[in-house]
Structure 1
Amino acid sequence: MMIFNLYIGKLVHIELLGDRDKMGYLIDAGSDIIVIYMDKKYVYLPITHIKNIELNTEDNANQDAPPDPISQTGHINFVGVLHNAVDRFVEIYLSDHQTLHGYVKYIAQDYLVFYSALYPKLYIPIIHIKWISPYESHQTPYSMNQKNWTTDTADSSLDTLPPTFGQVLKGLEGEMICLDAGLHASQIGLLEKMNDSFIELVTADENKLHFNVQHIRNCISFVK
């Protein structure tokens, strides 16, 4: 976007929805995403979650210098970034200070499949991703052995996944699931049914709760 080109190579302050403010050097900008360099890493931020951006006027003595040279392309987009992240060790930030570390394994129409050392398979609606940042190629989660994270590991179940997140939830009716990584006990239970844009979840104490699918930030399935 033209407005972001004004900040290329400069230290900027970004107010981001659902996260603390970011400060770093603007490296690149595309139609729906920008890239900043901060804390010695590249952070990819979808424009839809940016509230405002401005030049940083504070003392920048403690800031990392920008990479030299800055290789701006202007051709990046969010979907392309996600596809390039497949089988890469990345950090993904959602909201409520929920950060996930692991591997993007599959990109569908409106969600992605994410593997983590802490959780089983996660389904993450793309719209809820506030930013994504790749790790160096030699890094692995918690310094675990690389063979445990080989990108050659095939999961045949990925080939039969439906195109939308809503259809994933519909297919999990009658199964135990965990919503939003189980931040609250009420988000773990049996997915009884899905009607329109709501799901009915039965918790351990047999309480029935209804969640709006549009506000579910991720779902963990316990199906083998």
Structure 2
Amino acid sequence: MTYDDAIKALSNDALKLVKNHQTIGLGSGRAATAFVKSLSLFVKKNKFSIKCIPTSLQIKLEAEKGKLHLIDTVLDKIDIVFDGADQIDKGKNLIKGGGGALLRENILINAAKKVVIMADDSKFVTNFNRDVPVEVHHLARNTVAKHISKIGGRSRIRTLDRGYPFITENGNIILDCNFGVIKKPKLLQEKIKKISGVLEVGIFTRKPDIIYKARSTGKFDVIK
């Protein structure tokens, strides 16, 4: 049994949260991809009428394969969002943006009535200790990098394998910023957001309503 087995199992379990006529936000990444596959079969089997808002082209293509009804407009309220996370700390704060979709993911999460996060147990930490993705307008990359340095971080532009800058679906770049161990994520998030040219920070402080923790044994835990 593997993490993939656990993620498939928890994706099927999470379907019990899906109701007819809901508007559902679909996050990005491995767990979200597995959930979309399960959701597609579930909707077809039960003849549900739901609307889905994808957070990335990757998840949009997966949802199109499953013939889910997609909409591009983000409504004032989304019934439920299913998403993954790069890290989850002891306070249930999240680091997201490893796939580059942090801006749209944060919009959907903050518009949702309920947030469900799915991640394997390696993503759970006491305090954040990985790079924080920061989406930045390309004209501000140097000034943002200087301000990141002033508040104790080291930044680098995210690049593709060939060395070209990674460009988000919004046309921006991402600075991956190392702050060491982060004990006050909300304070750091607020400091970064005040920097001119920053469009989104990969520290999410909206607490999930439900967290699925996948284990390497193929099983999973549910944290509420």
Normalised by the size of structure 1, how large is the TM-score? Answer: 0.28
Which structure has more strand as a fraction of its residues? 1
Which of the pair has more CA radius of gyration?
1
Which structure has more helix as a fraction of its residues? 2
Structure with higher RCO (Cα < 8 A, 6+ apart): 2
Normalised by the size of structure 2, how large is the TM-score? Answer: 0.28
